[in-house]
């Protein structure tokens, strides 16, 4: 039997995304966020509060990087969601991680994260759903250790984790259980 839970933003899994920006003084700032993702083949959408330091940095620099953290860096990724750049000026330094300047946009790349999308701002502002940033993906960087023999990202090697907002937990991504565009193909046949 289905039970009515009311209006809740329950979608599982939610990606754990790390937004990296430069502050006005060149300080690296990283924010953990779950309310975002791919919205077109070359676009990402971030729904973030306008009062975040990250939002101010994106507005001033017109760029950001968006990374997927791996399980070995779960503590740092979680820390980036606990600490605020508005109150902690040495937030990135405390993480012990390193960053280099992106070659494509005015934003840092956290070198320990295995997958990073380099993005330039296309649009930002208040929407019915809250403050939204749309970014165009201008390049993707991947650590060679997460690539398969064809140069494609191997999800198991990526070792990413997802966020469960129903229980505030992080979960490892499990085993492959099907093949897109093939698992449901038998249902395409006409039933007699």
pLDDT tens-digit readout, 12-70: 788 899 999 999 999 999 999 878 888 999 999 999 988 899 999 999 999 999 999 99
Q: Which long-range contacts (CB under 8 A, 24 or more apart) does 7-11 make?
A: 8/166, 9/165, 10/165, 10/166
The tens digit of pLDDT for each residue in 176-191 reads 889 898 999 888 887 7
Q: Which domains does the chain have, with CATH numbers?
A: 14-188 (2.30.110.10)
Q: How far apart are CA 20 and CA 63, in angstroms?
A: 9
The tens digit of pLDDT for each residue in 140-157 reads 999 999 999 999 999 999
Q: How far apart are CA 35 and CA 75, in angstroms?
A: 19
What's the pTM? 0.91
């Amino acid at each position: 039997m289905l039970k009515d839970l009311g209006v809740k933003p329950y979608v599982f899994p939610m990606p754990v995304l790390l937004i990296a920006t430069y502050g006005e003084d060149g300080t690296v700032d990283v924010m953990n966020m779950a309310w975002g993702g791919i919205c077109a083949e070359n676009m990402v959408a971030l729904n973030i509060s306008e009062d975040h330091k990250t939002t101010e940095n994106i507005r001033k620099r017109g760029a950001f990087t968006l990374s997927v953290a791996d399980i070995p860096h779960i503590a740092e990724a979680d820390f980036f969601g606990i600490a605020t750049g508005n109150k902690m000026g040495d937030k990135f330094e405390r993480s012990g991680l390193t960053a280099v300047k992106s070659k494509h946009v005015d934003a840092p790349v956290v070198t320990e994260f295995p997958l990073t999308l380099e993005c330039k701002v296309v649009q930002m502002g208040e929407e019915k759903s809250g403050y939204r940033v749309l970014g165009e993906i201008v390049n993707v960087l991947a650590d060679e250790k997460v690539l398969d023999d064809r140069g494609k990202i191997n999800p198991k090697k990526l070792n990413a984790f997802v966020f469960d907002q129903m229980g505030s937990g992080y979960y490892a991504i499990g085993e492959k259980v099907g093949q897109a565009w093939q698992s449901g193909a038998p249902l395409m046949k006409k039933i007699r």
